[in-house]
Amino acid sequence: MTTGLDDEIDRSDPEGEISRRASAYRNWGRWGEDDALGTLNFIDDDKRVEAAGLVRHGRVVSLAQRFDTDGPQKGWRRRTNPVHTMTDTGVDAERGNQGFPHGMGGADDVIAMPLQCSTQWDGLGHIFDHGRAWNGRRAGDVVTSEGDLVTGIEHAASVVVSRGVLLDVGRHLEPATGELPDGFAITAAHLDDCIRAQGPSAAVGRGDIVLVRTGQYARARREGWGDYAGGPAPGLSITTAGWLHRSEIAAIATDTWGFEVRPNEFDAPAFQPLHQIVIPNLGLTIGEMWNLDELADACAEQSRWDFLLSAPPLPITGAVGSPINPVALL
């Protein structure tokens, strides 16, 4: 069933459009006042057993971008690419200046990076709506200088293993290139049409983790990063909020920097309105900058679009996001 909120939007009124959808699809209290997981609660033991049964060939596909200085970040809001530094090297070992006995030598290293500079999850403390965090809590009571005191990403460390479903919307709508143009808004109708075209293995239901491939990552790797981080991009329309709510999916991820279509769908100033609806109101975990190209090829070869997906965050206490190396097992 669809509603009027799945259709046209008033492009002059981002505040009103956000408010209507936030109110219509709000999950506050659904899993109790102390909940820290939101829609990840839809993943249960039966769902994981179902997902494990999808492993037929033992093929493992990493869905992560690289974590190195050749990344897409350009410093917006202090988001930089990872800086990897060696603190001990083979040179040190050869020259015997490490202080170990009997010829022992080793290498060690350190990395400095924002938690959301490459393939990652947005945690529930990442976005607020009018000063309210997930489950209606005051944002200042949730995230302080000490971190996310309530919904820190560590709560999801043993949760995010489920049935994954790839919706290759890029290939479905642009079969010649497999890539949607920047600024293309993916609607609920596009998602449903893609599911129908891909067949029964692409059906989406409770507890699934949906991966939406737009093809922008493939274009960026071919042509250069350009404005991949923060610039125009294909992505989900604000009108998909109802679809995301009705489907009862556990989480969703895309191959773009910002998950939703950019520029956003308003003539008035707006910034990531779908984030504002689904993270603090639905309690939906969002993944961004996933590398879905090899997986798309594998799924097309096998004519199946579901798989076991393991994508736990690092249990960084109080973090509002986490880098990940998600893997699909087919």
Q: How confident is the model at residue 2 (pLDDT cuts 50, 70, 90)?
A: low
- The pLDDT assigned to 132 comes to 98
Tell me, what's the pLDDT at 161?
98
Whether 238 contacts 273, CB under 8 Å: yes
Domain ranges of the chain: 4-76+115-329, 81-112
Per-residue model confidence (pLDDT) at position 5: 84
Q: Nearest CA to 312 among 300, 323, 301, 303?
A: 323
Contact 122, 286 (CB under 8 A): yes
Would you state the pLDDT for residue 7? Answer: 79
pLDDT at site 21: 98
- What whole-number distance in Å separates Cα of residue 326 and Cα of residue 312? 7
Residue 64, both tokens: 């992560």
> Average pLDDT over the chain, rounded to whole?
97
Q: What end-to-end distance do the CA atoms of the chain give, in Å?
A: 32
- With H, G, I as helix, E, B as strand and everything else as coil, classify residue 61: strand
Query: Half-sphere exposure of 99 toward its Cβ, with a 13 Å CA cutoff?
Result: 1
Model confidence at 42: pLDDT above 70: yes
Single-letter code of the amino acid located at 312: P
- How far is 324 from 64, CA to CA, in rounded Å? 7
Please say if the pLDDT value at position 297 is more than 60. yes
For residues 97 and 90, what is the distance between their CA atoms, to the nearest angstrom? 11
CA distance 13 to 15: 5
Task: Give the phi and the psi of residue 42 in degrees, each rounded to 5.
Answer: -70, -15
293 in Cβ contact with 272 (< 8 Å): no
**pLDDT tens digit string along 166-184?**
999 999 999 999 999 999 9
How far apart CA 221 and CA 228 sit, in angstroms, is 10
Domain 4-76+115-329 has CATH 3.40.50.2000: no
Mean pLDDT over 125-142 rounds to 98
Per-residue pLDDT, averaged over 153-160, amounts to 98
- Report the pLDDT averaged over residues 253-279: 98
> CA–CA separation, 240 vs 27, rounded Å?
16
Judge whether 117 and 111 are in contact, CB under 8 Å: no
Q: What band does 3 get if pLDDT is binned at 50, 70 and 90?
A: low
pLDDT digits (tens, 9 = 90+) for 183-239: 999 999 999 999 999 999 999 999 999 999 999 999 999 999 999 999 999 999 999
pLDDT of residue 236: 98
What's the token pair of residue 118?
A: 């490459």
